[in-house]
């Protein structure tokens, strides 16, 4: 066990972490399960003044995990030298030391409740979808999460489709409207329709960015990188659609989008079937990347625990640095765009770029002196 005092661990729960949401779990249930696991793990540690940790050794026990709040703390390997067994940490109050019975845990109850953990999402997911969900906890819900939202990072999805069916809600479980043939469809036709969908959305990028497509501002924006909408209130924008798997009647599309929703991605599969003189439903929507956050850095359901979340917060600090929040332009080429950012970020970026220029000048002068 890494911590011996619960408030010490609770103070570290401030930052951004990434979890993998399973299919069929609503956002509210996801938040409650994380809060329940954190409260369970913190309450298993000493929370009050007169509490200590008692180690109960057992030689043959297996590790188990459950989301049940009444289950005891998970077994951890013993840290004592010469022992390979596991111990179950149990909190006890020493009666000989406790001066006031009102400070006993049986009187005060658990110190940490679900409402003590404030968790917010950068971009949520539909309950039928699965994939990466970037969360903020503690003070990060007020500073880092709004910055990540304003950065408008590109999100990548793997969307599965199945030809031959048409339903009311674009899902295979919805009320069936009709069945159609699909044997005339091939991958070349699917690629053509995907390219057409991508081209139609790219024409609207400059309009939603607030510039004319044939203007000099549009050219400068295109030179700096990906053209993004100026606000998050715009309709969903598709930046890339590609068929990565084709096996009739099933296909898989890789979609890069901003301001999208899972229902809109399912509708793309439906429109794809109609344009191919058939019909299609969407069995699965899976988010595999959100900006710099990937599947490899996301926590699975079995890892939604105190120590794993703290490790993931430290890992995700690299993705929330000021240089990671800036996109689509080179700071050395354009200094006016830095002023558009929040003051806390722009000042750090300006200082960093100035330091890099000073280092470059000193290195150049040193080379000139060596030559002379």
Identify the pLDDT of residue 213: 76
Q: Which residues contact 131 (CB under 8 A, 6 or more apart)?
A: 20, 21, 125, 157, 285, 286, 287, 288, 295
More confident residue, 292 or 75: 292
Radius of gyration of the chain (CA): 27
Q: Does the residue 22 lie in any domain? A: yes
Judgement on whether residues 132 and 158 belong to the same structural domain of the protein: no
Judgement on whether residues 219 and 298 belong to the same structural domain of the protein: no
Residue corresponding to tokens 């979890």? 19
Q: Is the pLDDT of residue 69 over 50?
A: no
Identify the pLDDT of residue 92: 52
Judgement on whether residues 120 and 160 belong to the same structural domain of the protein: no
The last residue of one of the domains, among 290, 315, 345, is 290
Judgement on whether residues 181 and 252 belong to the same structural domain of the protein: yes
Q: Does the residue 367 lie in any domain? A: no
Q: Is the pLDDT of residue 76 over 50?
A: no
Section 181-205 average pLDDT: 90
Q: What percent of the chain has pLDDT over 70?
A: 73
Q: Which residues contact 161 (CB under 8 A, 6 or more apart)?
A: 250, 251, 252, 253, 269, 272, 273, 280, 281, 282, 283
Judgement on whether residues 17 and 158 belong to the same structural domain of the protein: no
CB atoms within 10 A of CB 209: 18
Q: Give CA separation, 187 vs 242, 246, 283, in Å.
A: 11, 7, 19
Identify the pLDDT of residue 322: 81
The last residue of one of the domains, among 290, 317, 350, is 290
Identify the pLDDT of residue 353: 47
Q: How confident is the model at residue 367 (pLDDT cuts 50, 70, 90)?
A: very low
φ, ψ of residue 54 in degrees (nearest 5) = -105, 125
Judgement on whether residues 253 and 127 belong to the same structural domain of the protein: no
The last residue of one of the domains, among 245, 268, 290, is 290
The count of domains in the chain is: 2
Judgement on whether residues 283 and 208 belong to the same structural domain of the protein: yes
Q: Is the pLDDT of residue 349 over 60?
A: no
Dihedral sign, Cα of residue 357, residue 360, residue 366, residue 368: negative
Q: Is the pLDDT of residue 179 over 60?
A: yes
Judgement on whether residues 7 and 121 belong to the same structural domain of the protein: yes
Q: Does the residue 263 lie in any domain? A: yes
Identify the pLDDT of residue 122: 92
Judgement on whether residues 271 and 122 belong to the same structural domain of the protein: no
Section 175-184 average pLDDT: 92
Task: Give the CATH number of the domain where residue 212 resides.
Answer: 3.30.2350.10
Q: Which of 253, 288, 258 lies closest to 270 in space, CA to CA?
A: 253
Identify the pLDDT of residue 327: 55
Identify the pLDDT of residue 163: 95
Q: Does the residue 353 lie in any domain? A: no
Judgement on whether residues 145 and 175 belong to the same structural domain of the protein: no
Identify the pLDDT of residue 320: 87
Q: Give CA separation, 42 vs 38, 45, 126, 307, in Å.
A: 6, 5, 30, 10
Residue 115, class by beta-carbon neighbours within 10 Å (0-12 exposed, 13-18 middle, 19+ buried)?
Answer: exposed
* Tens of pLDDT, residues 281-334: 999 999 999 989 999 999 999 999 999 999 999 999 988 888 777 654 333 333
Q: Give CA separation, 57 vs 86, 91, 179, 370, in Å.
A: 6, 14, 62, 67
Identify the pLDDT of residue 346: 43
Q: Which of 66-70, 236-240, 365-369 has the lowest average pLDDT?
A: 66-70
Q: Does the residue 86 lie in any domain? A: no
Q: Does the residue 271 lie in any domain? A: yes
Judgement on whether residues 169 and 265 belong to the same structural domain of the protein: yes
Q: Does the residue 163 lie in any domain? A: yes
Q: Which of 21-30, 151-160, 228-237 has the lowest average pLDDT?
A: 228-237
**Torsion of the alpha carbons at 310, 311, 315 and 317, rounded to the nearest 10:** 20
pTM metric for this prediction:
0.74
- Residue 320: helix, strand or coil by DSSP? helix
* Tens of pLDDT, residues 107-152: 888 889 999 999 999 998 999 999 999 999 999 899 899 989 888 8
Q: Does the residue 84 lie in any domain? A: no
Which structural domain, as residue segments, surrounds residue 4? 1-51+109-152+293-326
Q: Are 225 and 328 in contact (CB under 8 A)?
A: yes
Identify the pLDDT of residue 33: 95
Judgement on whether residues 135 and 147 belong to the same structural domain of the protein: yes
Residue corresponding to tokens 């022992």? 83
Bridge partners for 251 per DSSP: 161, 246
Q: Which of 167, 242, 235 lies closest to 201 in space, CA to CA?
A: 235
């Amino acid at each position: 066990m890494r911590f011996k005092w619960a408030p010490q661990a609770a103070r570290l729960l401030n930052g951004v972490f990434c979890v993998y949401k399973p299919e069929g779990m609503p956002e509210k249930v996801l938040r409650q399960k994380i809060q329940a696991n954190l409260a369970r793990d913190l309450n298993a540690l000493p929370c009050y003044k007169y509490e200590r940790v008692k180690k109960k050794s057992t030689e043959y026990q297996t590790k188990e995990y459950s989301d049940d709040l009444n289950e005891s703390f998970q077994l951890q390997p013993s840290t004592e030298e010469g022992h390979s067994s596991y111990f179950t940490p149990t909190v006890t109050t020493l009666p000989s030391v406790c001066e006031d019975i009102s400070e006993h845990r049986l009187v005060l109850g658990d110190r940490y409740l679900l409402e003590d953990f404030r968790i917010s999402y950068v971009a949520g997911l539909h309950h039928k979808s699965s994939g990466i969900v970037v969360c903020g906890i503690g003070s990060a819900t007020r500073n880092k999460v709004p910055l990540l939202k304003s950065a408008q990072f590109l999100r990548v999805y793997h969307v599965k489709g199945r030809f031959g069916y048409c339903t009311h809600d674009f899902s295979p479980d919805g009320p069936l409207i009709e069945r159609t043939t699909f044997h005339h469809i091939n991958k070349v036709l699917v690629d053509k329709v995907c390219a057409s969908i991508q081209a139609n959305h790219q024409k609207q990028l400059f309009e939603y960015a607030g510039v004319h497509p044939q203007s000099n501002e549009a050219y400068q924006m295109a030179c700096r990188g990906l053209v993004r909408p100026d606000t998050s209130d715009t309709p969903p924008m598709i930046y890339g659609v590609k068929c990565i798997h084709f096996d009739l009647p099933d296909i898989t599309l890789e979609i890069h989008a901003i301001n999208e929703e899972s229902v809109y991605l399912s509708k793309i599969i439906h429109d794809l079937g109609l344009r191919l003189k058939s019909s299609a439903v969407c069995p699965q929507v899976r988010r595999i990347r959100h900006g710099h956050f990937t599947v490899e850095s996301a926590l699975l359901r079995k890892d939604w625990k105190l120590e794993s979340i703290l490790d993931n917060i430290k890992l995700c600090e690299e993705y929330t640095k000021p240089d990671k929040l800036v996109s689509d332009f080179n700071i050395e080429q354009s200094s006016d765009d830095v002023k558009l950012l929040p003051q806390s970020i722009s000042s750090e970026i300006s200082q960093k770029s100035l330091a890099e220029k000073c280092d470059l000048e000193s290195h150049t002068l040193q080379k000139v002196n060596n030559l002379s």
